[in-house]
Structure 1
Amino acid sequence: MNISIWIATGLLAVVALGGGISKTFIPQTKLAAQRGGEWARAVSPGFIKAIGIAELLAAAGLILPAVLDIAPIMVAVTATCWVALMIGAMITHGRLGQIALVAVNAVYLAVAVFVAWGRFALEPFTG
């Protein structure tokens, strides 16, 4: 089970890293012009960058605490925070009628729930 949780955690970290890089470094106009980026038209550039930075921190928070053995409980906490982020993303995309993106976010949410449950209950890191 530990290997399954690590794989899911790694995949989630890659998703967070990709989203974080795009939201942090791609200009708002370019992001809003992409398919699925329509939500970016209605928010400030600072808000987009804040979400991007949160996603970059999530990528780090999913991996580094366990690898460095410094507060490894933060892996489960980060996965729980990712659940909240995905709920917000699902609401946003749902309001825009982007059902396919809602489904993608639901998959990411399910993976995050698995990681959180796995690290809180199934295979917690113990010192």
Structure 2
Amino acid sequence: MKNLTLSLILISLAGCSTPPRPAPAKPLVLYRYPMSENAVLLAHTVASHDLKDPESPKFRDTFFVTSDARGEARDKSKDSWCIEINGKNSYGAYVGYTWALLPAGGKSVIMGSSPVGAMASQICSSATYPPAG
């Protein structure tokens, strides 16, 4: 009887163990690649389209961003566009530089102070140059 009780206790305790924790995910590394002059002009045109004064924006940095570190051998169809832009508000004053993101395959620019705009800023500002080689 003691053996049966001990066996039941051990079986019930075995079911209480916690499963092993999964390994933490590797942080996503994003790489920036230069754009041709024509691509930069197109990116500026697309990014300024929805501004209050689309004729007046100032641009500081424009590049492709992707998680692919293979340089020119990367899948360019997965490149997103990052554009640092300073536009005017309703009063005609510049509001300061902010990042705009045109996701790969997307048809609209993400920018602004919304949570989605903050995501665009984080993506563009964290992009680094790919490793040499």
Same fold (TM over 0.5): no
Bigger Cα Rg: 2
**Comparing both structures, which one devotes a greater share of its residues to helix?**
1
**Comparing both structures, which one devotes a greater share of its residues to strand?**
2
TM-score (norm 2): 0.30
